[in-house]
Amino acid sequence: MVAAPSGAAIATPRGATNGGIGLRLLDAPANAGNDPRARLYIVDHLAPGTVIHRRIEVSNTTDSTMHVALYSSAATIENGSFLGAAGHTPNDVSLWTSIDPAASDIPAGQRVTSTITISVPDDAAPGEQYGVVWAEVRSEPVVDGGVLQVSRVGIRIYLSVGPGGAPAADFTIESLTAERSAEGQPIVLATVRNVGGRALDMSGTLKLLAGPGGLSAGPFPARLGTTLPIGGTEAVTIALDDAVPAGPWDARITLRSGLLERSARATITFPASGASPSVRTAPLHPKMPYLVAGGLVLLLLTAIATPLVVRSRRRPRPDDHHVGTATPSSVGGGKPVALVR
């Protein structure tokens, strides 16, 4: 099994002194145009009997012509990772998927476009399945028992099958655990449970507030690459700056998958070594009830009316000092994808 990349990526063939083979998605569903996951991966919900087409671009940034083969294989989600199967291992998604053209000789510095077609049969079983479209480059034929080198880069497929609309996606942030690595670096593990009907790819940030002496720190980016299967629970890792004091801290975490976002808070303290006990979180932005009547949306303010007339007598404290800010990682780039139905 091979970890499929978390976005448009490049594979460097053996013998290439510069550059590599790049692969990126050019199309996204029209109803998911604002969803960043749909611009990186093939994420769709299809009824049995449906056929869709998605264009991909393969680029060669090496200094020589490369023969690139395109094909689909099975994928699974295991231990928080999206894994593409070895070789041409089939599953339903790979058998429903074809690529045209399926191979190209791409000159140095050039790029080609291929079309992925996914044809869901009329008798397809409902549920979500996974696959990868691979762009693969192989070394020259082996003689006398040499080693064949294979380099490949892929685009993930998250395919939900069933009638009607797509299953709702949702997750909860259940707890935060403060710990230190073997080198003493402070780390926060956020335990996240997928309570919806679609697999999730997690990203987000953590802020630390109300620390010793009124310090604040962050935002610190979550480590990318954690994928949650339906019903699964995994730990999302956030590595912090070495200069962050032990605490206690008011930790505020925001995690997202595509357009879905959840925020929570907990009070944590970093141990001298090892891990502190996990702390249950409280949601930061609970959903507010709305009433719809006569075309007007009325926000229920009853629960917050009283605090509006209460004056705080707490003394103002000095401005917060900031420790060890970090910039979240970014993925993708290039031209915007086209929206298709």
Q: What angle do CA 123, 126, 132 make, to 5 degrees?
A: 95
pLDDT at 33: 62
Residues 177 and 133 in one domain: no
Tally of CA atoms within 13 A in the half-sphere of 124 that contains its CB? 26
Residue 331 falls inside a structural domain: no
Q: How far is Cα 273 from Cα 260, in angstroms, rounded to an integer?
A: 34
Return d(Cα 331, Cα 224) in angstroms, integer.
10
Q: Do 213 and 262 fall into the same domain?
A: yes
- Whether residue 88 sits in one domain with residue 24: yes
337 found inside a domain? no
- Would you state the pLDDT for residue 29? 78
Same domain for 46 and 73, yes or no, is: yes
pLDDT band per the 50, 70, 90 thresholds, residue 285 = confident
CA–CA dist 91, 51 (Å, integer): 17
Pair (100, 223) in one structural domain: no
Residue 98 placed within a domain: yes
In a domain, 64, yes or no: yes
Whether omega for the bond prior to residue 29 falls within 30 degrees of 0, making it cis, is no
Q: CA 85 to CA 263: how far, in whole Å?
A: 34
pLDDT tens digit string along 299-318? 333 333 333 333 334 444 44
pLDDT tens by residue, 111-148: 999 999 999 999 999 999 999 999 999 876 666 666 66
Question: pLDDT digits over 29-40, tens only?
Answer: 777 767 888 889
Task: Check whether residue 104 and residue 182 sit in a common domain.
Answer: no
Residue 299 domain-assigned (yes or no): no
Is the domain of 151 the same as that of 275?
no
For residue 142, give the CATH number of its domain.
2.60.40.10
Q: Given 120, 149, 165, which residue is the final one in a domain?
A: 165
For residues 254 and 32, the model is more confident at: 254
**Residues 20 and 141 both lie in one domain:** yes
Per-residue model confidence as pLDDT tens digits over 155-176: 999 999 999 988 999 999 999 9
Residue 335 lies in a domain: no
For tokens 């679609």, the residue is: 198
Q: For the chain, how many structural domains are there in total? A: 2
Asked whether residue 30 is domain-assigned, the answer is yes
CA 29 to CA 79: how far, in whole Å?
Answer: 29
Percentage of the chain lying above the pLDDT 70 cut: 76
Whether residues 33 and 147 fall in one domain: yes
Q: How far is Cα 232 from Cα 230, in angstroms, rounded to an integer?
A: 5
268-282: average pLDDT: 96
Residue 142 shares a structural domain with residue 225? no
pLDDT tens digits, 41-77 = 999 999 999 999 999 999 999 999 999 999 999 999 9
Query: Do 192 and 250 belong together in one domain?
Result: yes
Give domain status of residue 136, yes or no. Answer: yes
Q: Are residues 7 and 126 in the same domain?
A: yes
Domain that holds residue 73: 2-165
